Amino acid sequence: MTAATGVRSLWRHGDFMRLWSAQTLSLAGTQVTQIALPIAAITLLDATPWQLGLLAAAQYLPFLLVGLPAGVWVDRWRRRPVLVTTDLARAAVLAVLPLAYLFGGLHLWMLYPVGFAVGILTVFFDIAHQSYLPSLVDRDHLVDGNGKLEASYQGAQLAGPGAGGVIVQVLTAPVALFADAVSYLFSALLLGRIKAVEPVPEPHPEDAHGLLRGIGVGLRYVLKHPLLRPIALATAIGNLFGIFGIVQAVLTLFAIKGVGLTAGWLGLALGIANAGALLGALANRRIVAALGLGPVIVASVTLPGAAILLLPLAREGFALPVLAVALAIAWFGIAVYNVNQISLRQAVVPTALQGRMNATMRFLIWGTIPLGTALGGFLGGAIGLRSTLLIAGAGAVLSALPVLLSPVRALRAIPERDGDG
C-alpha cells in the first residue's frame, strides 16, 4: 500500500514532503511569472487591455481544448512520470522568452504561443497532481494534506508577487521568467525522488471503447453527482467573474495606470493580500470543525465576490491599502473553499475515476477563465476599469447560488467514498 497509513503527521512523511516541496518551489516561480508576464507586456511591449486579456486567455484556453482527453490519459498512466515530464517541458518552453530578450528578438506575439504551450503542460500537471495525492496519503489525511498543499500554494502567493515585483523592477521581467524556468527544473528533481511505488492504473471498463467514451464517463459522473455538479457550477461562475477571470484581465492595468502603483508596490500589495490566503489555509480545519463542511463551502465561495466590490474604491495615493485588504479577503475565501471542495472531490470519487473527474472539473471550472479574461479585456476598454470590477464582483457573489441550493450546504463532514465503477 502506498498511502501513509498510521502516519501521525504528514510533516514526517518523506514522500509527501517531497511532493509538498516540489509544489512550493514550482509555485513560487509561477507566482513570479504571473506578475512578470503582464508587466513585461505592458512596459516592454506596450500591450493594450485587449491584448492583455488575450494573453491571459491563451494560458487557460488549453483547459477547454485538451482538459477532458487529458483526464482519460492521466487515468491510464502512472501520475508521477507525468508530473516530472511536464515540469521539464515547462522549463524548456518558458526559457524561450528570456532567451529571445537576451538576443534582442522579444515580441508581443511570442508571449501567446508560449503561454498557450505552458497552459497545455499545466493541464496535464494539475490533473495528475490532484489525482496523485490519494495514492500517497490515506483517506484520513486528505484534508490535512490538501490543507498543507494549499498553505504551500498561498505561501508562494505571499512571497512570489513581492519577489516578482522586485525582480521585475530591479532585474527586468525576462530575468523573472528565467527564474520560473529554473524552479520547474528543481521541482522535477524533487518529484523524481519520491520513493513510493505507484501501481499500474486499472483500466475502466469503458476505456476499451475509445477516448470519447472515456471522456463521456467523466462528464456523466460529474454532471449527475449531487455534490460535484453544484461545486463545478459555482466554481465555474466564480472563475468567470472573479480573481482568475474578469479581474485578472484588468487588475494589473488598474493598479499601474489607473491608481499609479509601480511594479514594486503592486508586488507588495499582492504579497500582503496573500497573507489572507495563507491564514485561510492554515485555519481551515478549525473553521470546518466549528461550522461544518457545507456552511464553510457556501460562505467561502461568497467571500471573494464581496471583496472584489471593494477594489473600485482604490484611488491614487490610497491604492495600496485598499488593494491589499480587498484581495486578502478574497484570497482567504478562495483558500478555504479550495481546501474543502478538493478534499470532498478526492474523498467521494473512486480511484479509477480520479483523473477524468479532475479533468472534467478542470474543464468546467477553468474553462470559463479564458472567457472571463477576454470579457474583462473587452469591458475594460469599453466601459472602464472601475465599472468592469463592479460587474466582476457582483457576478462572483452570485456564484454561491448553486451550492446554496444543493445538498452541499447540509454537509457536516466529508461523506463516504462512492462505489467503484
- How far apart CA 414 and CA 284 sit, in angstroms, is 14
Domain assignment of residue 354, yes or no: yes
Name the average pLDDT for the chain. Answer: 83
- What is the structure's pLDDT at 418? 60
- What is the structure's pLDDT at 379? 94
- What is the structure's pLDDT at 2? 45
Domain assignment of residue 6, yes or no: no
Going by pLDDT thresholds of 50, 70 and 90, the confidence category of residue 62 is: confident
What's the alpha-carbon Rg for the chain, to the nearest Å?
20
Domain assignment of residue 2, yes or no: no
Contact 323, 255 (CB under 8 A): yes
Contact 351, 420 (CB under 8 A): yes
- Percent of the chain past pLDDT 90, that is, above it, reads 31
> In one letter, which amino acid is 255?
A
- How far apart CA 24 and CA 12 sit, in angstroms, is 17
- What is the structure's pLDDT at 161? 62
The pLDDT tens digits of the residues spanning 249-279 come to 899 889 988 888 887 788 788 777 778 888 8
Nearest Cα neighbor of 37 from 121, 83, 93, 103 is 93
Q: What is the CATH number of the domain that holds 231?
A: 1.20.1250.20
Per-residue pLDDT at 195 exceeds 90: no
Neighbours of 109 (CB within 10 A): 8
The pLDDT tens digits of the residues spanning 6-58 come to 556 777 777 888 988 888 887 777 777 777 778 778 877 888 878 887 887 78
Cα–Cα distances (Å) from 74 to 68, 88, 93, 158, 379, in that order, read 10, 17, 21, 31, 37
3-state secondary structure the chain: CCCCCCCCCHHHCHHHHHHHHHHHHHHHHHHHHHHHHHHHHHHCCCCCHHHHHHHHHHHHHHHHHCHHHHHHHHHHCCHHHHHHHHHHHHHHHHCHHHHHHHCCCCCHHHHHHHHHHHHHHHHHHHHHHHHHHHHHCCHHHHHHHHHHHHHHHHHHHHHHHHHHHHHHHHHCHHHHHHHHHHHHHHHHHHHHCCCCCCCCCCCCHHHHHCHHHHHHHHHHHHHHCCCHHHHHHHHHHHHHHCCCCHHHHHHHHHHHHHCCCCHHHHHHHHHHHHHHHHHHHHHHHHHHHHHCHHHHHHHHHHHHHHHHCCHHHCCCCCHHHHHHHHHHHHHHHHHHHHHHHHHHHHHHCCHHHHHHHHHHHHHHHHCHHHHHHHHHHHHHHHHCHHHHHHHHHHHHHHCCHHHHCCHHHHCCCCCCCCCCC
Domain assignment of residue 1, yes or no: no
Domain assignment of residue 3, yes or no: no
- How far apart CA 89 and CA 100 sit, in angstroms, is 18
The pLDDT tens digits of the residues spanning 106-131 come to 888 888 898 899 889 988 888 887 77
What is the pTM for the complete model shown? 0.71
CA 231 to chain centroid: 15
Per-residue pLDDT at 157 exceeds 70: no
- How far apart CA 286 and CA 264 sit, in angstroms, is 35
Q: Which residues lie closer than 8 Å to 108 by C-beta, 6 or more apart?
A: 41, 45, 47, 51
The pLDDT tens digits of the residues spanning 292-341 come to 999 999 999 999 999 999 999 988 888 888 999 999 999 999 999 998 99
- What is the structure's pLDDT at 49? 76
- What is the structure's pLDDT at 1? 41
Contact 155, 271 (CB under 8 A): no
Which residue range is the domain that position 38 belongs to?
Answer: 13-194+210-410
The pLDDT tens digits of the residues spanning 356-403 come to 888 888 888 877 888 898 899 899 989 999 999 999 999 999 999 999
Tally of structural domains, the chain: 1
Domain assignment of residue 385, yes or no: yes
- How far apart CA 99 and CA 210 sit, in angstroms, is 41
For 28-42, letters b (16+ CB in 10 Å) and e give bbbbbbbbbbbbbbb
Domain assignment of residue 102, yes or no: yes
Going by pLDDT thresholds of 50, 70 and 90, the confidence category of residue 203 is: low
Higher pLDDT, 310 or 143: 310
Domain assignment of residue 43, yes or no: yes
